[in-house]
Structure 1
Amino acid sequence: MIFNYFKIAWRNLLKSKFYSLINGAGLTLGLGVGILILLWVQDELSFDRFHKHADDIYKLENRVGTGSSKQIWTTTVAPIAMLGKKELPEIKDGVRLCYNESYILFRYKDKVFNEENSQFADPGLFSVFDFGLVQGDARKPFTDDNSVVLTETTAKKYFGNEDPIGKILVVNDQMNFRVSGVVKDFPKNSTIQGDLFLPISKLFNDMYSRRQDGRNRDNDFHQFNYNTYLLLQPGQNISGLADKLRNIHLRNKPDDTDLTYLLQPLVSKHLYKADGSDGGIETVRMFIIIALLILGIACINYVNLSTARSMLRSKEVSMRKIVGAARKQLFTQFIIETALVFGMASAVAVILIYSFLPLYNQLSGKQLVFDFANFQIWKVIGLTLLGTLAVSSIYPALLLSSFDPLKAFKGKTATGISDAALRKVLVVTQFAVSVILIIGTFVISTQLKYIRSKALGYDKTHVLSFGMRNMNSHFEAVKADLLNQPGVIGVTRASSNIVRIGGQTGSNEWDGKEVGETMMSRPMAIEKDFLSFFKMQLVEGKGFTGSVSDSSHFILNETAVKATRLKDPIGKRFKLWDKEGTIIGVVKDFHTTSMRQKIDPSVFYYDAGDANRIYIKTTGNDAEKAIAAAERSWKRYNGDFAFTYGFLDDAFNDMYKSEQQSGFLFNLFAGIAIVISCLGLFGLAAYTAQVRTREIGVRKVLGSSVTGIVRLLASDFIRLIVIAIVIAVPIAWYSMNIWLQDFAYKIHISWWMFVAAGGLALAVAMLTISFQSIKAALMNPVKSLRSE
Structure 2
Amino acid sequence: MFRTYIKIAWRNLVKNKIYSGINIFGLAIGLTAGFLILQYVNFERSYDTFHSNKNFIYRVVADLETPTGVMNLNNPSFAVPPHLEEEFSEVISAVRFMRVNLLVRRNDVKLTENDAAVADKAFFEVFDFDLLQGDKKTVLTAPYSVVLTQETANKYFGNESAIGKTIKIKDEDINDLNFTVTGIMAEIPENSHIKANMILSMTTYTEGIMPRVNDAWGLYDPSAYILLNPNTDPRELEAKLPAFLERNTGEMMRNDKLFVSLFLEPLSDVYLRSDRGAEYNGDLVTTYVFSIIAIFILLIACINFINLTTARSVERAKEVGVRKVIGAEKRHLSLQFVGESIIISLIAFVIAVGLTILITPVFNELAGKNISDGIFSNPTNILYLFVMAITIGGLAGIYPAFVLSSFKPVHVLKGSFSTGSRGTILRKCLVVTQFTISITLIIGTIIIYYQMNFMRNQELGFNKEHTVMLPVTPSPTQKALKNSIHDISGVISATLTSSAPGIPNSTAYSIIENRNQEDQVISIDAYFVDHDFISQFGLQVVAGRAFSRKFVTDSSEGMVINEKAAKLLGFTSPEGALGVKFSQWGKEGKIIGVVKDFHFRSLQDNIQPLTMTIMPDRTDVLAIKISGQSIEKTLSSIQSTWETILPNDSFDYYFLDEAFDRQYRSQEQFGSLFLNFAILAILISCLGLLGLAAYSILQRRREIGIRKVLGASVAEVVKLLSSDFLKLVIIAFFIASPIAWFIMDIWLSDFAYRISVQWWMFLISGICALIIALGTVSFHAIKASLANPVKSLQTE
Q: TM-score range by the shorter chain?
A: over 0.9
Give 1:293 shift.
Answer: 0.6
Give 1:373 shift.
Answer: 4.7
Give 1:717 shift.
Answer: 0.6
Match of 2:720 in 1: 712
Does the CA-based 8 Å contact 1:57-1:230 persist in structure 2? yes
| Aligned counterpart in structure 2 of residue 556 of structure 1, from 557, 561, 567 | 561
- 1:193 correspondence with 2:189: no
Q: Distance in 2 between matches of 1:563 and 1:41?
A: 40
Q: Distance in 2 between matches of 1:67 and 1:339?
A: 67
Does the CA-based 8 Å contact 1:486-1:625 persist in structure 2? no
- 1:220 correspondence with 2:200: no
Match of 1:700 in 2: 708
| CA displacement 1:684-714 (0-9 Å, x = unmatched) | 1100111111111111112222112111111
Give 1:402 shift.
Answer: 1.6
* More displaced stretch, 632-641 vs 232-241: 632-641
Equivalent residue of 2:200, what SS?
strand
Give 1:727 shift.
Answer: 0.9
1:590-605 equivalences under 5 Å are 590-605=598-613
Structure 2: state its 5+ residue gaps: none
Equivalent residue of 1:600, what SS?
coil
1:139-288 equivalences under 5 Å are 139-142=137-140, 144-171=142-169, 175-209=177-211, 216-254=212-250, 255-256=252-253, 257-273=258-274, 280-288=283-291
Q: Distance in 1 between matches of 2:777 and 2:68?
A: 56
Q: Distance in 2 between matches of 1:583 and 1:400?
A: 83
Match of 2:411 in 1: 407
| Aligned counterpart in structure 2 of residue 381 of structure 1, from 381, 385, 390 | 385
Q: Distance in 1 between matches of 2:209 and 2:782?
A: 81
Match of 1:105 in 2: 104
Does the CA-based 8 Å contact 1:70-1:520 persist in structure 2? no
| Aligned counterpart in structure 2 of residue 453 of structure 1, from 452, 457, 470 | 457
1:353-364 equivalences under 5 Å are 353-364=356-367
Q: Distance in 2 between matches of 1:240 and 1:495?
A: 41
| Aligned counterpart in structure 2 of residue 348 of structure 1, from 346, 351, 375 | 351
1:271-350 equivalences under 5 Å are 271-273=272-274, 280-350=283-353
Match of 2:422 in 1: 418
Match of 2:505 in 1: 502
Match of 2:60 in 1: 60
- 1:667 correspondence with 2:692: no
Match of 1:213 in 2: none
Alignment CA distance shift 1:639-1:380 (3 Å) = farther
Alignment CA distance shift 1:205-1:357 (3 Å) = same
* More displaced stretch, 38-47 vs 608-617: 608-617
Alignment CA distance shift 1:294-1:648 (3 Å) = same
* More displaced stretch, 8-17 vs 127-136: 127-136
Give 1:476 shift.
Answer: 4.2
- 1:491 correspondence with 2:494: yes
Alignment CA distance shift 1:425-1:576 (3 Å) = farther
Does the CA-based 8 Å contact 1:81-1:230 persist in structure 2? yes
RMSD value, Cα: 2.4
- 1:365 correspondence with 2:361: no
Alignment CA distance shift 1:89-1:570 (3 Å) = closer
- 1:130 correspondence with 2:128: yes
Alignment CA distance shift 1:778-1:433 (3 Å) = same
Does the CA-based 8 Å contact 2:705-2:790 persist in structure 1? yes
Alignment CA distance shift 1:618-1:12 (3 Å) = same
Alignment CA distance shift 1:509-1:142 (3 Å) = closer
Alignment CA distance shift 1:560-1:159 (3 Å) = closer
Does the CA-based 8 Å contact 1:80-1:245 persist in structure 2? no
Give 1:346 shift.
Answer: 1.3
Q: Distance in 2 between matches of 1:727 and 1:733?
A: 11
Q: Give aligned pairs, total.
A: 779
Give 1:371 shift.
Answer: 5.0
Equivalent residue of 1:708, what SS?
helix
Give 1:126 shift.
Answer: 1.5
Does the CA-based 8 Å contact 2:308-2:692 persist in structure 1? yes
Q: Distance in 1 between matches of 2:493 and 2:228?
A: 54
Q: Distance in 1 between matches of 2:699 and 2:576?
A: 82
Match of 2:94 in 1: 94
Equivalent residue of 1:598, what SS?
coil
* More displaced stretch, 109-118 vs 200-209: 109-118
| Aligned counterpart in structure 1 of residue 466 of structure 2, from 457, 462, 468 | 462
Give 1:111 shift.
Answer: 5.0
Q: Distance in 1 between matches of 2:239 and 2:641?
A: 52
Give 1:679 shift.
Answer: 0.8
Match of 2:664 in 1: 656
Match of 2:29 in 1: 29
Alignment CA distance shift 1:319-1:43 (3 Å) = same
Match of 1:41 in 2: 41
Alignment CA distance shift 1:111-1:539 (3 Å) = closer
Amino acid at match of 1:241: L
Q: Distance in 1 between matches of 2:145 and 2:478?
A: 35
Give 1:164 shift.
Answer: 4.0
Q: Distance in 1 between matches of 2:148 and 2:614?
A: 40
Alignment CA distance shift 1:264-1:192 (3 Å) = same
Q: Distance in 1 between matches of 2:222 and 2:383?
A: 38
1:624-635 equivalences under 5 Å are 624-635=632-643
Amino acid at match of 1:269: V
Match of 1:529 in 2: 532
Does the CA-based 8 Å contact 2:375-2:382 persist in structure 1? no
Match of 1:212 in 2: none
Match of 1:756 in 2: 764
Does the CA-based 8 Å contact 1:460-1:649 persist in structure 2? yes
* More displaced stretch, 192-201 vs 751-760: 192-201
| CA displacement 1:159-212 (0-9 Å, x = unmatched) | 455544334445469654333322222211122222222221112123334xxx
Amino-acid identity (%): 38
Match of 1:645 in 2: 653
Does the CA-based 8 Å contact 2:357-2:374 persist in structure 1? yes
Amino acid at match of 2:216: D
Give 1:747 shift.
Answer: 0.8
- 1:686 correspondence with 2:694: yes
Structure 1: state its 5+ residue gaps: 210-215
Amino acid at match of 1:185: E
Match of 1:615 in 2: 623
Equivalent residue of 1:756, what SS?
helix
Give 1:145 shift.
Answer: 2.3
Q: Distance in 1 between matches of 2:39 and 2:68?
A: 39
Does the CA-based 8 Å contact 2:511-2:520 persist in structure 1? no
Give 1:418 shift.
Answer: 1.0
Equivalent residue of 1:259, what SS?
strand
* More displaced stretch, 398-407 vs 244-253: 244-253
Match of 1:574 in 2: 581
* More displaced stretch, 9-18 vs 633-642: 633-642
Alignment CA distance shift 1:378-1:365 (3 Å) = same
Does the CA-based 8 Å contact 2:81-2:224 persist in structure 1? yes
Amino acid at match of 2:208: D
Match of 2:15 in 1: 15
Does the CA-based 8 Å contact 1:106-1:115 persist in structure 2? no
* More displaced stretch, 615-624 vs 302-311: 615-624
Amino acid at match of 2:124: F
Q: Distance in 1 between matches of 2:27 and 2:129?
A: 40
Alignment CA distance shift 1:595-1:10 (3 Å) = same
Q: Distance in 1 between matches of 2:386 and 2:18?
A: 28
Equivalent residue of 1:656, what SS?
helix
